[in-house]
A and B are shown apart, each in its own frame.
Chain A
Amino acid sequence: GAVVSQHPSWVICKSGTSVKIECRSLDFQATTMFWYRQFPKQSLMLMATSNEGSKATYEQGVEKDKFLINHASLTLSTLTVTSAHPEDSSFYICSARQDANYGYTFGSGTRLTVV
């Protein structure tokens, strides 16, 4: 089945620094990947849709200059949290879909803690 690999699994960083999270589709090509954010005891909230070779589409309220998304190839999308602050601490998850016959596959998630 489709596998999505996400790294790192967890990261602790200082306020003001930037953190890059990678999401790779291992056995299929993903022209579109999705980035979600999840706060404790809450559901997944879509942040942005990452499109290979073009600009990402951000959801309302998500700062595109703060959450930089790059989808440079059909198997890799990256999310960079720039100038991180403690309120950015959250669980970030990427997702992709192999084709219409498959459910959406999630990466293992990245727990970001900004201190």
Chain B
Amino acid sequence: EDKVVQSPLSLVVHEGDTVTLNCSYEVTNFRSLLWYKQEKKAPTFLFMLTSSGIEKKSGRLSSILDKKELFSILNITATQTGDSAIYLCAVGGQAGTALIFGKGTTLSVSS
């Protein structure tokens, strides 16, 4: 059975800290791994990863995929209170199939 496992499930840090969120997966016909940030409404897209070892960066966020070990990490440096959200990891399989989501990591950044 396909599955996506995120850890930790929740995390509380202080502003300025660096955090690493983990995502491991077991999915047949893997095509891509995606990270989303969800605040009050629908998830907003962060990264899509398809190749191992290539870091993707966007400001203070970065992510990398290891297709051999079947995991990805999402790093957030110099965290801010606005980073508080649920971070969802999802894996896409065959074309035309839905994403499989992990349970998410709830990040709380205190000032």
Contact = CB atoms under 8 A, between A and B. Distances in A.
A24 to B, nearest CB: 14
B99 interface: yes
Interface residues of A, number: 24
Interface in B45-98: 45, 48, 88, 90, 92, 95-98
Interface of B: 31-32, 34, 36, 41-45, 48, 88, 90, 92, 95-104, 106
Q: Summarize A's interface: helix, strand, loop or mixed.
A: loop
A46 interface: yes
Interface of A: 6, 9, 31-32, 34, 36, 41-46, 49, 93, 95, 100, 102-109
Contact of A109 (B42, B88, B95): B42
Q: Which 7 A-B pairs have the closest CB atoms?
A: A106-B42, A109-B42, A34-B98, A103-B48, A43-B103, A43-B101, A103-B45
Contact of A95 (B96, B98, B104, B106): B98
A32 B34 contact: no
